[in-house]
Amino acid sequence: MGIVAKPPRFKIPLSVITVFVFSFTFIVLLYTERINLLSSSVFKSKSCAKRGYSKYIRKPFEDEKNSTKDDKFKSIIDDRFIFDPDECNVAQGKWVYNRSFKPLYTDLSCPYLDRQVSCVKNGKPDSDYRRWEWQLDDCVLPRFDARLALDRIRGKRMMFVGDSLQRGQWQSFVCLVEFLVPKGQKSMRRGRVHSVFKIKDHNATIEFYWAPFLIDSNTDEKIIGDPKKRILRVDSIEKHAKHWVGVDVLVFNTYVWWMTGSKIRSLWGSFANGEDGSEELDAAVSYRIALKTWANWVDSNVDPNKTRVFFTTMSPTHQRSADWNNKGGIKCFNETKPVTKRGHWGTGSDKRIMSVVASVVGKMKVPVTFINVTQLSEYRVEAHSSIYTEMQGKLLTDEQKADPFKFADCIHWCLPGVPDTWNRILLANL
């Protein structure tokens, strides 16, 4: 099936266009999908919260250099708290540009990145998007410390479970630590569904398991392009979940695959007439049943004394430039700066889904730690792979690049990039 879709004509009502753009995007997404997996969830077993008050002195920021002496005095006394997962809200903060910030890896230095996310290697002309750091309002979120990360996973299996966004987070995590591991001590085995990065001297693995809906569907392994032909078995998870047993750190996600239209063909229980027994459900309703199936599995199978469970919240998509007031824009194409409006929230993050996640997880027995990436990622309209990506295993051609409405990928993120910050939060909670 080809990726042919005509641009919508402008007499169609906006809602239809939105759905259309979403379905189209989704089809593009499918074809850029290389089957592998990644997803994340973490739970916390906190005995007692450490409270610390840091009055540490920092250097003035670039834009503070011209301020008055008085201002300067105030600004160099940083009275934010040392990061404490129970006290600090990772959604409240701002992106700060730091010219001298260097990510721990690049898409040339890390051999484990997919071409889909290797934007600079694929010709992205600016790498400014790598120099923004997420700064919390009230707390100091520590930078990713690769040594500490290796230490935390020593003797453990860590597994990201979910969709291609989760695969991005997995690759980010691998690249953030692999440069510390000598050549003979590491290995990578990529599979269609299950991939394993092994660190021998630490007896640790960082794995990815592909399960884009977490529950079972007819489009997990052999992807079905037409969303209407997909059927989700919303009460069935064992096929995937048996591979998660015994893992020490589980990091889950699931979101974007649910957003291909407003209805989802869902099947539960058993029907003599098989798939004909499925019903079209509102996406949020179907999502709730599926997430409950997942929650029930976790509660019945995970030993909270042994395993931490994390859940990465929705990764926002940026398909409508009007969301951030760029009326003449084409999706996220050609954006070069994050959105600065505080609390910006676009149509690419579904609040209904967020509330389903919060309510289902809130009733679980096993503690699940959120990596709440939605708000901070909402600002980063300029950090998607856009046209510097591949489709069906091939880099976009010049003609395709010239048609960003159709071909720009505003779902996945360049690496290094925004998912590194997700992992910074993950490590701060680990």
Helix axes 164-178, 418-429, angle to 10 degrees: 70
Q: From 192, 272, 261, 255, select the one nearest 230 (Cα to Cα).
A: 261
Under rule CB under 6 A, residue 91 binds ligand NAG? yes
Output phi, psi for 408, to 5 deg.
Answer: -65, 130
Judged by beta carbon, residue 19 or residue 330, the one nearer ligand NAG is 330
Judged by beta carbon, residue 155 or residue 269, the one nearer ligand NAG is 155
Single residue of 16, 108, 322, 358 touching ligand NAG by CB under 6 A: 358
- Conformation bin of residue 382: beta by default, left when phi > 0, alpha when psi is -120 to 50: alpha
List the catalytic residue out of 164, 278, 315, 386. 164
What is the Cα–Cα distance from 141 to 372, expressed in whole angstroms? 14
List the catalytic residue out of 114, 350, 409, 420. 409
Judged by beta carbon, residue 68 or residue 305, the one nearer ligand NAG is 305
Under rule CB under 6 A, residue 115 binds ligand NAG? no
Single residue of 56, 101, 271, 405 touching ligand NAG by CB under 6 A: 101
Cβ 329 to ligand NAG shortest distance, Å: 8
Kindly state the tokens that stand for 385: 């792979």
Dihedral Cα 99, 101, 103, 106, nearest 10 deg: 40
What is the Cα–Cα distance from 405 to 397, expressed in whole angstroms? 14
Is-contact 213 231, C-beta < 8 A? no
Could you confirm whether 86 is annotated as catalytic? Answer: no
Cβ 197 to ligand NAG shortest distance, Å: 13
Interface segment toward ligand NAG; rule CB under 6 A; list 80-88, 152-160, 268-276, 389-397 = 152-160
Could you confirm whether 187 is annotated as catalytic? Answer: no
Could you confirm whether 420 is annotated as catalytic? Answer: no
Under rule CB under 6 A, residue 155 binds ligand NAG? yes
**Residue in the block written with tokens 């059927």:** 231
Kindly state the tokens that stand for 285: 């309703």
# residues contacting ligand NAG (CB under 6 A): 24
Kindly state the tokens that stand for 237: 């998870």
Q: Is 380 helix (H, G, I), strand (E, B) or coil?
A: coil
Judged by beta carbon, residue 11 or residue 99, the one nearer ligand NAG is 99
Judged by beta carbon, residue 33 or residue 207, the one nearer ligand NAG is 207
Under rule CB under 6 A, residue 273 binds ligand NAG? no
By residue count, the chain amounts to 430
What is the Cα–Cα distance from 169 to 38, expressed in whole angstroms? 7
Radius of gyration of the chain (CA): 21
Interface segment toward ligand NAG; rule CB under 6 A; list 24-32, 150-158, 317-325, 386-394 = 150-158
What is the Cα–Cα distance from 300 to 293, expressed in whole angstroms? 11
- Contact letters (x/-) for ligand NAG, 316-335, by CB under 6 A? ------------------x-
Cβ 223 to ligand NAG shortest distance, Å: 28
Q: So which residues are the catalytic ones?
A: 164, 409, 412
List of residues contacting ligand NAG (CB under 6 A): 59, 61, 63, 65-66, 91, 98, 100-101, 155-157, 203, 303, 305, 313, 334, 354, 357-358, 370, 372, 374-375
